[in-house]
Amino acid sequence: MLYDLAAVAAAFSVTLSNLIAPAAIRHLGPVVFNCWRLAAALVAVLGLVGLRGSWNWPSSVQFFALAASSMLGIIIADSCFYAAMARLGPRRTSVLYTSWAAFAALLGYLILGERLSSVKVLGIGCVVGGVCLAIIFRQAGKPMASEETHGSTRAGVLFGLLSALCAAGAVLIARPVMAAGLDPAMATAIRAAVGLPGLVAISRLPGFRASAPATSAIALRAAISGLLGMGVGMTLVLFALSGQPVGIVSTLASTTPVVILPMLWWTTGVRPAPAAWLGAAAAVIGAAVIASGY
Protein backbone atom coordinates (compact mmCIF):
# COMPACT_ATOMS: atom_id res chain seq x y z
CA MET A 1 0.00 0.00 0.00
CA LEU A 2 2.82 2.42 0.89
CA TYR A 3 4.53 1.82 -2.46
CA ASP A 4 1.26 2.43 -4.34
CA LEU A 5 0.77 5.70 -2.47
CA ALA A 6 4.31 6.73 -3.40
CA ALA A 7 3.58 6.18 -7.11
CA VAL A 8 0.36 8.21 -6.90
CA ALA A 9 2.21 10.93 -4.96
CA ALA A 10 4.75 11.01 -7.80
CA ALA A 11 1.91 11.78 -10.21
CA PHE A 12 0.80 14.66 -7.96
CA SER A 13 4.37 15.97 -7.74
CA VAL A 14 4.83 15.89 -11.52
CA THR A 15 1.45 17.59 -11.94
CA LEU A 16 2.48 20.44 -9.64
CA SER A 17 5.73 20.71 -11.59
CA ASN A 18 3.82 20.96 -14.87
CA LEU A 19 1.45 23.61 -13.50
CA ILE A 20 4.35 25.75 -12.31
CA ALA A 21 6.37 25.39 -15.50
CA PRO A 22 4.54 27.14 -18.43
CA ALA A 23 5.32 30.77 -17.51
CA ALA A 24 9.02 29.96 -17.05
CA ILE A 25 9.13 27.93 -20.28
CA ARG A 26 7.68 30.79 -22.33
CA HIS A 27 10.06 33.26 -20.68
CA LEU A 28 13.27 31.22 -21.04
CA GLY A 29 12.48 28.87 -23.93
CA PRO A 30 12.26 25.09 -23.50
CA VAL A 31 16.01 24.32 -23.68
CA VAL A 32 17.18 27.01 -21.25
CA PHE A 33 14.29 26.19 -18.92
CA ASN A 34 15.34 22.54 -19.02
CA CYS A 35 18.90 23.59 -18.04
CA TRP A 36 17.65 25.38 -14.92
CA ARG A 37 15.30 22.53 -14.08
CA LEU A 38 17.90 19.82 -14.52
CA ALA A 39 20.57 21.70 -12.55
CA ALA A 40 18.26 22.00 -9.54
CA ALA A 41 17.26 18.34 -9.79
CA LEU A 42 20.89 17.21 -10.13
CA VAL A 43 21.87 18.99 -6.91
CA ALA A 44 18.94 17.35 -5.09
CA VAL A 45 19.66 13.84 -6.43
CA LEU A 46 23.39 14.10 -5.67
CA GLY A 47 22.47 15.12 -2.14
CA LEU A 48 20.23 12.06 -1.85
CA VAL A 49 22.98 9.75 -3.17
CA GLY A 50 25.46 11.31 -0.74
CA LEU A 51 23.14 10.85 2.24
CA ARG A 52 22.52 7.23 1.29
CA GLY A 53 26.21 6.63 0.63
CA SER A 54 25.35 4.71 -2.55
CA TRP A 55 28.37 5.71 -4.67
CA ASN A 56 28.46 2.43 -6.58
CA TRP A 57 29.78 3.22 -10.06
CA PRO A 58 28.49 1.39 -13.13
CA SER A 59 30.66 -0.46 -15.64
CA SER A 60 31.76 1.38 -18.78
CA VAL A 61 29.07 -0.38 -20.83
CA GLN A 62 26.39 0.59 -18.31
CA PHE A 63 27.67 4.17 -18.21
CA PHE A 64 27.48 4.57 -22.00
CA ALA A 65 23.99 3.05 -22.00
CA LEU A 66 22.87 5.57 -19.36
CA ALA A 67 24.54 8.36 -21.34
CA ALA A 68 22.62 7.36 -24.47
CA SER A 69 19.43 7.17 -22.43
CA SER A 70 20.14 10.66 -21.09
CA MET A 71 20.76 12.11 -24.56
CA LEU A 72 17.48 10.68 -25.80
CA GLY A 73 15.34 11.03 -22.69
CA ILE A 74 16.57 14.30 -21.16
CA ILE A 75 18.13 16.40 -23.91
CA ILE A 76 15.62 15.54 -26.64
CA ALA A 77 12.48 14.18 -24.90
CA ASP A 78 12.32 16.69 -22.04
CA SER A 79 13.10 19.67 -24.27
CA CYS A 80 10.40 18.58 -26.73
CA PHE A 81 7.99 18.06 -23.81
CA TYR A 82 8.46 21.63 -22.64
CA ALA A 83 8.28 22.96 -26.20
CA ALA A 84 4.89 21.25 -26.46
CA MET A 85 3.78 22.62 -23.08
CA ALA A 86 4.67 26.16 -24.11
CA ARG A 87 2.27 25.79 -27.04
CA LEU A 88 -0.50 23.51 -25.72
CA GLY A 89 -0.52 24.00 -21.95
CA PRO A 90 -0.03 21.38 -19.22
CA ARG A 91 -3.26 19.36 -19.64
CA ARG A 92 -3.02 18.50 -23.31
CA THR A 93 0.73 17.99 -23.10
CA SER A 94 0.27 15.54 -20.21
CA VAL A 95 -2.22 13.50 -22.22
CA LEU A 96 0.07 13.54 -25.26
CA TYR A 97 2.98 12.34 -23.14
CA THR A 98 0.94 9.35 -21.95
CA SER A 99 1.40 7.95 -25.45
CA TRP A 100 4.93 6.93 -24.39
CA ALA A 101 3.36 3.68 -23.16
CA ALA A 102 2.05 2.95 -26.66
CA PHE A 103 5.40 3.85 -28.23
CA ALA A 104 7.24 1.64 -25.72
CA ALA A 105 4.99 -1.31 -26.61
CA LEU A 106 5.54 -0.75 -30.33
CA LEU A 107 9.31 -0.33 -29.96
CA GLY A 108 9.46 -3.45 -27.81
CA TYR A 109 7.68 -5.33 -30.57
CA LEU A 110 9.81 -3.93 -33.41
CA ILE A 111 13.23 -3.91 -31.72
CA LEU A 112 13.10 -6.49 -28.94
CA GLY A 113 10.65 -8.88 -30.57
CA GLU A 114 8.23 -8.65 -27.62
CA ARG A 115 4.73 -10.00 -28.22
CA LEU A 116 2.09 -7.38 -29.07
CA SER A 117 -1.13 -9.05 -27.92
CA SER A 118 -4.65 -8.01 -28.86
CA VAL A 119 -5.04 -6.58 -25.34
CA LYS A 120 -2.02 -4.32 -25.86
CA VAL A 121 -3.37 -3.25 -29.24
CA LEU A 122 -6.62 -2.32 -27.47
CA GLY A 123 -4.60 -0.33 -24.92
CA ILE A 124 -2.76 1.50 -27.70
CA GLY A 125 -6.15 2.34 -29.22
CA CYS A 126 -7.34 3.80 -25.90
CA VAL A 127 -4.24 5.97 -25.64
CA VAL A 128 -4.63 7.21 -29.23
CA GLY A 129 -8.31 7.96 -28.61
CA GLY A 130 -7.54 9.87 -25.43
CA VAL A 131 -4.83 11.89 -27.17
CA CYS A 132 -7.19 12.76 -30.04
CA LEU A 133 -9.86 13.95 -27.59
CA ALA A 134 -7.29 16.07 -25.77
CA ILE A 135 -6.15 17.74 -29.00
CA ILE A 136 -9.54 18.44 -30.60
CA PHE A 137 -11.22 19.46 -27.33
CA ARG A 138 -11.92 23.16 -26.79
CA GLN A 139 -13.25 24.57 -23.53
CA ALA A 140 -16.85 25.76 -23.89
CA GLY A 141 -17.34 29.47 -23.15
CA LYS A 142 -14.32 31.41 -21.91
CA PRO A 143 -11.32 29.06 -21.94
CA MET A 144 -9.01 28.78 -18.96
CA ALA A 145 -5.62 30.39 -19.53
CA SER A 146 -3.86 27.02 -19.55
CA GLU A 147 -6.05 25.86 -22.46
CA GLU A 148 -5.03 28.74 -24.71
CA THR A 149 -2.76 27.78 -27.60
CA HIS A 150 0.43 29.78 -28.03
CA GLY A 151 1.80 29.45 -31.55
CA SER A 152 1.19 26.45 -33.79
CA THR A 153 -1.01 23.65 -32.45
CA ARG A 154 0.45 21.28 -35.03
CA ALA A 155 3.99 22.03 -33.84
CA GLY A 156 2.90 21.48 -30.24
CA VAL A 157 1.40 18.09 -31.08
CA LEU A 158 4.52 17.03 -33.01
CA PHE A 159 6.77 18.09 -30.13
CA GLY A 160 4.56 16.19 -27.66
CA LEU A 161 4.57 12.98 -29.70
CA LEU A 162 8.33 13.22 -30.34
CA SER A 163 8.85 13.66 -26.61
CA ALA A 164 6.84 10.52 -25.86
CA LEU A 165 8.65 8.51 -28.57
CA CYS A 166 12.11 9.53 -27.32
CA ALA A 167 11.11 8.87 -23.70
CA ALA A 168 10.02 5.35 -24.66
CA GLY A 169 13.35 4.77 -26.42
CA ALA A 170 15.26 6.05 -23.39
CA VAL A 171 13.43 3.60 -21.13
CA LEU A 172 14.25 0.68 -23.41
CA ILE A 173 17.95 1.64 -23.43
CA ALA A 174 18.13 2.01 -19.64
CA ARG A 175 16.11 -1.13 -18.82
CA PRO A 176 19.03 -3.67 -19.06
CA VAL A 177 21.20 -1.45 -16.84
CA MET A 178 18.57 -1.20 -14.14
CA ALA A 179 17.79 -4.92 -14.42
CA ALA A 180 21.47 -5.58 -13.60
CA GLY A 181 20.95 -4.00 -10.18
CA LEU A 182 22.48 -0.51 -10.45
CA ASP A 183 21.27 1.84 -7.71
CA PRO A 184 18.37 3.85 -9.21
CA ALA A 185 19.35 7.12 -7.53
CA MET A 186 22.89 6.78 -8.82
CA ALA A 187 21.55 6.05 -12.32
CA THR A 188 19.38 9.16 -12.16
CA ALA A 189 22.35 11.27 -11.04
CA ILE A 190 24.47 9.97 -13.93
CA ARG A 191 21.73 10.66 -16.48
CA ALA A 192 21.27 14.19 -15.13
CA ALA A 193 25.03 14.87 -15.01
CA VAL A 194 25.41 13.74 -18.63
CA GLY A 195 22.34 15.61 -19.84
CA LEU A 196 23.10 19.00 -18.26
CA PRO A 197 26.30 19.84 -20.23
CA GLY A 198 24.57 18.80 -23.45
CA LEU A 199 21.64 21.07 -22.74
CA VAL A 200 23.95 23.97 -21.84
CA ALA A 201 25.83 23.49 -25.14
CA ILE A 202 22.58 23.47 -27.13
CA SER A 203 21.31 26.55 -25.28
CA ARG A 204 24.26 28.51 -26.71
CA LEU A 205 23.21 27.83 -30.31
CA PRO A 206 21.12 30.34 -32.29
CA GLY A 207 17.44 29.55 -32.01
CA PHE A 208 17.82 27.79 -28.66
CA ARG A 209 18.86 30.71 -26.49
CA ALA A 210 16.68 32.19 -23.77
CA SER A 211 13.66 34.10 -25.03
CA ALA A 212 14.35 36.74 -22.35
CA PRO A 213 16.92 37.21 -19.54
CA ALA A 214 16.22 35.09 -16.49
CA THR A 215 14.79 36.95 -13.52
CA SER A 216 15.09 35.67 -9.96
CA ALA A 217 11.37 34.82 -9.93
CA ILE A 218 11.58 32.86 -13.21
CA ALA A 219 14.76 31.05 -12.13
CA LEU A 220 13.10 30.09 -8.83
CA ARG A 221 10.00 28.83 -10.68
CA ALA A 222 12.16 26.69 -12.99
CA ALA A 223 14.16 25.31 -10.05
CA ILE A 224 11.04 24.41 -8.06
CA SER A 225 9.56 22.73 -11.13
CA GLY A 226 12.74 20.65 -11.47
CA LEU A 227 12.79 19.71 -7.80
CA LEU A 228 9.14 18.63 -7.90
CA GLY A 229 9.26 16.87 -11.27
CA MET A 230 12.60 15.11 -11.34
CA GLY A 231 13.75 15.42 -7.72
CA VAL A 232 10.68 14.49 -5.64
CA GLY A 233 8.76 12.75 -8.44
CA MET A 234 11.64 10.53 -9.55
CA THR A 235 12.59 9.69 -5.97
CA LEU A 236 9.03 8.58 -5.22
CA VAL A 237 8.91 6.46 -8.38
CA LEU A 238 12.21 4.79 -7.49
CA PHE A 239 10.93 4.08 -3.98
CA ALA A 240 7.72 2.61 -5.38
CA LEU A 241 9.72 0.40 -7.75
CA SER A 242 11.53 -1.10 -4.78
CA GLY A 243 8.30 -2.76 -3.64
CA GLN A 244 5.97 -3.02 -6.65
CA PRO A 245 6.28 -4.32 -10.24
CA VAL A 246 7.14 -1.86 -13.01
CA GLY A 247 3.70 -2.21 -14.63
CA ILE A 248 1.81 -1.15 -11.51
CA VAL A 249 4.15 1.72 -10.69
CA SER A 250 4.23 3.08 -14.24
CA THR A 251 0.44 2.96 -14.44
CA LEU A 252 -0.10 4.77 -11.14
CA ALA A 253 2.60 7.33 -11.93
CA SER A 254 1.04 7.93 -15.36
CA THR A 255 -2.23 9.24 -13.88
CA THR A 256 -1.01 12.83 -14.33
CA PRO A 257 -3.57 13.63 -17.08
CA VAL A 258 -6.41 12.85 -14.63
CA VAL A 259 -4.75 14.38 -11.55
CA ILE A 260 -4.14 17.66 -13.38
CA LEU A 261 -7.84 18.29 -14.09
CA PRO A 262 -9.05 18.92 -10.51
CA MET A 263 -5.89 20.96 -9.87
CA LEU A 264 -6.65 23.16 -12.88
CA TRP A 265 -10.25 23.45 -11.70
CA TRP A 266 -9.04 24.50 -8.24
CA THR A 267 -6.44 27.01 -9.49
CA THR A 268 -8.50 28.60 -12.28
CA GLY A 269 -12.08 28.20 -11.03
CA VAL A 270 -13.11 26.87 -14.47
CA ARG A 271 -14.55 23.35 -14.51
CA PRO A 272 -13.05 21.15 -17.26
CA ALA A 273 -15.63 19.90 -19.77
CA PRO A 274 -16.65 16.20 -19.84
CA ALA A 275 -14.55 15.64 -22.99
CA ALA A 276 -11.42 16.61 -21.05
CA TRP A 277 -12.12 14.01 -18.36
CA LEU A 278 -12.96 11.38 -20.98
CA GLY A 279 -9.77 11.97 -22.96
CA ALA A 280 -7.59 11.87 -19.84
CA ALA A 281 -9.29 8.72 -18.52
CA ALA A 282 -8.99 6.95 -21.89
CA ALA A 283 -5.24 7.69 -22.06
CA VAL A 284 -4.61 6.45 -18.50
CA ILE A 285 -6.71 3.31 -19.00
CA GLY A 286 -4.81 2.59 -22.21
CA ALA A 287 -1.47 2.95 -20.39
CA ALA A 288 -2.72 0.60 -17.65
CA VAL A 289 -3.79 -2.00 -20.23
CA ILE A 290 -0.44 -1.82 -22.02
CA ALA A 291 1.42 -2.26 -18.71
CA SER A 292 -0.81 -5.15 -17.59
CA GLY A 293 1.41 -7.80 -19.15
CA TYR A 294 -1.39 -9.51 -21.09
For the stretch 246-293, pLDDT in tens is 556 666 777 787 788 888 778 777 777 788 788 888 888 887 777 666
User: Among 149, 165, 199, which Cα is nearest to 29's?
Assistant: 199
The answer to whether 231 touches 40, Cβ cutoff 8 Å, is yes
Phi, psi of 206 (to 5 degrees): -60, 135
Whole-angstrom CA distances from 264 to 81, 232, 258 are 19, 21, 10
Rounded CA-CA distance 141/30 in Å is 30
Q: Other C-beta atoms within 10 Å of 149: how many?
A: 13
Burial class from Cβ neighbours inside 10 Å (0-12, 13-18, 19+) for residue 156 reads buried
* Element at 153 (helix H, strand E): helix 153-179
How does pLDDT run across 140-195, given as a tens digit for each residue? 445 555 556 677 888 999 999 999 899 888 877 887 777 777 777 788 888 889 99
Instruction: Indicate the pTM of the whole model.
Output: 0.78
Question: Distance from first CA to last CA of the chain, Å, rounded?
Answer: 23
pLDDT at 61: 92
| Tens-place pLDDT, residues 9-49 | 888 898 898 888 888 888 888 889 989 989 988 888 888 78
Q: Where are the alpha helices (H) located in 180-273, listed in sequence order? A: 184-203, 216-226, 233-241, 246-253, 256-268
Classify residue 212 as left (phi > 0), alpha (psi -120 to 50) or beta: beta
pLDDT digits (tens, 9 = 90+) for 208-224: 888 778 888 898 999 99
- CA–CA dist 108, 176 (Å, integer): 13
The whole-angstrom separation of Cα 251 and Cα 262 is: 19
CA diameter of the chain: 57
- Looking from the CA of 75 toward its CB, the CA atoms found within 13 Å total 20
Where in the sequence is the domain holding 119, given as residue range(s)?
2-290
3-state secondary structure of 68: helix
In the chain, the number of structural domains is 1
- CB-side neighbour CA atoms (13 Å) of 228: 18
